[in-house]
Structure 1
Amino acid sequence: MSETSTPAKPSALFVCVHNAGRSQMAAGFLRALSGGAVDVRSAGSMPAEQINPVAVEAMLEVGIDIRGEKPKVLEPVAVEASDAVITMGCGDACPYYPGKNYQDWELDDPAGQGIEAIRPIRDEIERRVRGLLTELGVEPVA
């Protein structure tokens, strides 16, 4: 393995049960706000068939398009490859690896909610993602 002068990009994994709302919105914000300076992953312990269309709509309102994302199953390798692991109500489904920055964000589940209920969840996710960027030492691009 050769030594390089470029430090590895920080990486983050967002996990919620269905990987259809909160974790996808958080991943969308981190991708957009980091401008590609952070490797972003999201997954769920029991992934849904598709992303919550109202979560997609809420993100489009702030100029972030997550329509192309698909819910993915949580794999231990994704946890192992991430510097920060943010759970959003996945409980004991997350494997633990020493040395990772684990955080549990208590957020309402947007499943089955209308746009009015999802907007404050989206805005809280953005606030927390901005805090995560600071922790990772990455300047937001917007």
Structure 2
Amino acid sequence: MTRRLLGIAAFLVALGGAVWAGTIVRDQLEGPGPVETVRIATTAYARGDCEGLRAVSARPKAVECSAVRDVQRAYRDEGLKPAEFTFDLATQDGSTAMVRISYVSGGQPLSELVPVEKDGGDWRISEVSR
């Protein structure tokens, strides 16, 4: 009986490892999820990286580089650092999601919701600041 229980336990551990490894491989093949996509976009804004923002935007031609620089300037003026922000998945329904960005500005806790959509196999920012 003990040998059988050990066999079942070993099987369950192996199965868990296979599921975990499959999830990692799938995530690598599919690219970043909605939360990581918003984190990438926020970092691009903070760096003034117009091309970086376009790379994760559903409508890259709508991204105006002057607007990205304006947001970068606002981050700097307000002392906002995306590395200190928290990002979490607020909602997800199939190929659309909302990601909440939470941060502190002027001593006040604030949050914003960012819409993202799945385009092919990649998550993209649906709307960008203008």
**TM > 0.5 between the two?**
no
Give the TM-score of the pair, scaled to structure 1.
0.26
Ranked by relative contact order (alpha carbons within 8 Å, sequence separation 6 or more), the top structure is: 1
Structure number with higher helix proportion:
2
Which has a greater percent of strand? 2
Query: Which one has a bigger Cα radius of gyration?
Result: 2
